[in-house]
Structure formats: structure tokens, C-alpha cells
Amino acid sequence: MAARSLRAHLLRMLLPPIAALLVLGGLVAYYPAIEPATEAYDQALIDVGTSLGTYVRAGDAGYRLELPAAVDQVLRRDSYDTVYYRVLGPAGEHVAGDEGLPEPSDEPRDALVSYDASYKGQSVRLVAVPAHCGNATCRVLVAETTVKRKRLARDILFSTLLPGMLIAGATLVIVWFGVKRGLGPLARLSEEIKARSPGDLRPIDAAGAPEETQPLVGALNGLLGEVAQASRNQQRFLANAAHQLRTPLAGLQAHTELALAAPLPGPARAELEQVHQATIRTARLANQLLALARAEPGARGSAADVNLKTLAEGDADGWVHQALARDVDLGFELEGVHVQGDALLLREALANLVHNAIEYSQRGGHVTVRTGSRAGQPFAEVEDDGPGIPAAERERVLERFYRVPGTPGTGSGLGLAIVREIAVGHGAQVAIADGAGGRGCRATITFQL
């Protein structure tokens, strides 16, 4: 179903009553105005008829109209309409004038009647006026075409309808723009929500919202609060679960290492070696899940000033031991540079990059950790001269649980996803490129200042 437009709805509601009011208003104004005007025109016709009546003479050969030519012209003169007349004798016989003019039906011959009829294919207004001819009463019919009457009706109609139509038009315009203006606060509200980062679950500031939108803002804030609470609960659960895993894993690791230190028959040693590797992987996975939980929005600590050089130096010991264990040369090119962020998360991100670089380097490989700023933007990066990541895979390796097909080793595919998640949380970007000379891989986290 298409979204209902509030405007269209309002207009649909408003238009029929406005149209009805217009018609009703027109009728109410029209009839009181048209009646006196019609009467005045009729009266003029009656006057003509009365004047004509004074020229009807009774003679021996019957009745006749003795109308001087000058009078005839005066009587018939009209700027808009054509005037016709006809004189009838007391018995209804034709005396003079236009013979085809119809008489009123069923009216006493001596009555003064005004009526509409049609003559020579035109609609005409007629009056029948009684006139004295000798001792009898003759009848004079005067007709005129209806041009000026129609024009008058049109003028009256127009002048009564125009204000109504103007008001109706104004109403529609006001509704059209008024709805837009009235919905302005809602538009601003949606802009504010749109501009938010996905993890921003803070309540919306209700202070600036108009009264009518308060229930909406309240409902939204209620929902945001519930989502935030659910997210916190989930993170707490994940963190607790990972924490609970760590102690037994430490015990498992201790005992497998102890057992491996003792003399063992070959097959048993091989099996135990597998158990040991699995233990280490599980431990790392638990740590990575914890890191992901911490990187979730809402779980982040408050941002503080972090020097990337100090951060890298602080963890260098552990990394160097990892590198030595795999016979990889780990080097540093560190320049002090400050960013705002969560030191624990940033350390996790950098540690993941270093871990990956060491893990996928061949023996005798080189890994270099760099911090500093390029083009005014702080960065931390790790470069290796290992097998590298094919260009087509560079986006996908940042996804959770994705591993480049055919990759040796036992990674979970979470490391780079954690790096990206942490970077995004800090408004930073992760880019993967070729290492120096097109060999290996260079992963860079670039911060915005």
C-alpha cells in the first residue's frame, strides 16, 4: 500500500464541503439579486406595451394601430436586444405587429402577464398588456430577446461566486503549504534520526520538538531505550560468557602444555599437539568475541586522548615474542600522533593487524608497524612481505568470519572484522593495499581529524 499523503487526505476532506458551500453561497446570493433586476426589465417592457396601447384605435373596419414611425423607432430602440410587438383585438384577432408572437396560455385577456417563450428560434421574454380600445379591451404583446438579461445573470453570478472561489483557492493554497510547514518539525526530526550513526541509541532531545510531536518523540525514545537496554544485556551476556570461558581455557592450556613437556609416545604427542592448538585457537576466539562485544556501540568507553606511538610501544613486547616464535622480523617506525578514542579498543585493532601480519608471514619475513600522520590525518598501519591479499578479496576480508579461500592456518576470520568495527566506531577507515614493491600487504587505519 502506498503511503497516504496527509496533504491529499486533507484536500479530499476539504474539497467537497468547500464546493458545496460555494454552490449554496452562489444560490443564496444569486436569487435575491436576479429577481429585482428581472422585474425592472419586465417593467420597461410593460411601459412599452402601455405606450403602444395608447395608439390602438377602434374604427368601423375594426381595430388598428396608428403608430407614428418616430414612436415606433423609439419604442423598439434597444442597444442589446431586438424588441417585437403585436396588438390583438378584444376577440384575439390580429391587429398589428409581428404575427407569430405567442400569447400567454390560459390567462384572462385583460390580465397583465409576463412570460418566457421562443420566437424566430430565439428565446424571448414577453409581456401581455391590456389596452383600452373603444369600449373593449385589446391586448398588446411586447417581446424582447434575452441578451441583456443573460448578461445580467452572468454578471450577478460572477460577482457572487468570485469571492467564494477566491476564498476556496486560498484555502487550498494554505492547506498545501500549511501542511508542509506544519510538518516541518517532523522533517527536522527525521533528519536528526537519519544523521545518527547506527549505534547512537541516545534518546532524542524532546525540548525542540513541537507539542504535537511529543508523543511520537516519547514513543521513539522509549523504543531507543529498550533497544539500548537489549544491546547492553546482550553485550553483558557475551562478555560474561567469554570471561567464564577464559579460566577453564587457562587450565586446559596449562595441562596440555604440562603433558607435552613430559615424554610421550609419538601418536599421543601428535594428538595432544592438536588439542593444544585447538585450545589456543579457542582462547583466541573467546578473546575476539569479547573484543567484538566491546566494539559494539553502547559498550564503548568514553573517548580519551590516545597517542598511537605510545599505544604501539606498550604492546610491542608481546608482539616481538609472537614474531620471534615464528622467526619473523618485527620492526617499528613510530611517530607520535594523537587521536581521540578508546585505548583498549585501538590496541585491540592494532594487535589484530600485527597478529595477522605475523601469522601469514613466511619464516624470515618482515613486518613493520607504523604510526604517524599523512596529509594531516593520523594513521596506524602494519605492513608485511607475506603472500598479500588479492585485490578482489580486500573488501570481503573485512567481513566477519570471512577467510580468503585456500588460506593456510586456523584463523577465525574475525580479526579484520574487529579492526573494521573498531575503526568505524572511531570514525576511521581501514584500507588494505599492496606492501612495498607490490609484495605482501599493508593494512592502514586512517583517522579523521
Partner 1 sequence: MRLLIVEDDAPLASGLRRILEAEGHAVDVTSRGEQAVLAASQERFDLVILDIGLPQMDGFEVLRRLRSSAAERAGQTPVLVLTARDAVDDRVHGLDLGADDYMVKPFAMPELTARVRALLRRSQAHGGPRIVHGPLTLDTVARRAFLRSEPLELAAREWAVLEVLLGKVEKIVSKESIIQAVAGWGDDLSPNAIEVYVSRLRSKLEPAGIRIRTVRGFGYMLEEFKGN
Q: Given the rule CB under 8 A, which residues bind partner 1? A: 243-244, 246-255, 257-258, 261, 279-280, 283, 290, 301, 313, 316-317, 320-321, 324, 329-334, 343-344, 368
The grid coordinates of residue 302 equal 568514553
Q: Which is nearer to partner 1, 12 or 321 (CB)?
A: 321
Q: Are 428 and 445 in contact (CB under 8 A)?
A: yes
Q: Cα separations (Å) of 15 from 18, 162, 174?
A: 5, 17, 13
Which lies closer to partner 1 via its Cβ, residue 134 or residue 331? 331
Q: Which is nearer to partner 1, 81 or 359 (CB)?
A: 359
Smallest separation (angstroms) from partner 1 to the CB of 379: 16
Query: CA 236, CA 313: separation in Å to the nearest integer?
Result: 30
Cell of 259: 603433558
Q: Quote the CA–CA distance of 159 and 150 in Å, as a whole number.
A: 14
Nearer to partner 1, 28 or 260 (CB): 260
CB of 391 to partner 1, least distance (A): 28
Minimum CB separation of residue 273 from partner 1 in Å reads 14
Q: Which is nearer to partner 1, 118 or 247 (CB)?
A: 247
| Residue with Cβ nearer partner 1 (314 or 390) | 314
Q: Assign residue 70 a region (left: φ > 0; alpha: ψ between -120 and 50; beta: otherwise).
A: alpha
Give the nearer residue to partner 1 in terms of CB position, either 42 or 342: 342
In whole angstroms, the minimum distance from the beta carbon of 286 to partner 1 comes to: 8
CA distance 446 to 381: 8
* Residues 131 and 139: beta-carbon distance below 8 Å: yes
Question: How far, in Å, CA of 280 to CA of 431, rounded?
Answer: 29
Question: Is 59 or 331 the residue whose CB approaches partner 1 more closely?
Answer: 331
Shortest distance, position 332 Cβ to partner 1, whole Å: 4
Give least dist CB 333 to partner 1, A. Answer: 5
Residue number with CB closer to partner 1 (213 or 371): 371
Q: Do 235 and 298 meet the contact criterion of CB atoms below 8 Å apart?
A: yes
Residue 233 CB, nearest approach to partner 1 (Å): 18
Q: All 3 cell numbers of residue 93?
A: 384577432
Quote the strand ranges of 203-302, DSSP E.
none
- We find the least distance from the C-beta atom of residue 316 to partner 1, in angstroms, to be 5
Q: At its nearest, how many Å lie between partner 1 and the CB of residue 246?
A: 4
Helix (H, G, I), strand (E, B) or coil at 443: strand
CA nearest 381: which of 324, 431, 321?
Answer: 431
Kindly tell me which of 248 and 409 has the beta carbon lying closer to partner 1. Answer: 248
DSSP per-residue codes, 27-82: HHHHHHHHHHHHHHHHHHHHHHHHHHHTTEEEETTEEEE---HHHHHHHH--SS--
Supply the minimum distance, in Å, between the C-beta of residue 441 and partner 1.
Answer: 18
Q: How far is the CB of 392 from partner 1 (least distance, A)?
A: 32
Handedness of CA 199, 203, 204, 208 (dihedral sign): negative
Chain centroid to CA 312: how far?
Answer: 48
| Cell triple for 13 | 476532506
Q: How many CA atoms lie within 13 A of 154 on its CB side?
A: 6
Residue pointed to by grid coordinates 496527509? 6
220 vs 344, which CB is nearer to partner 1?
A: 344
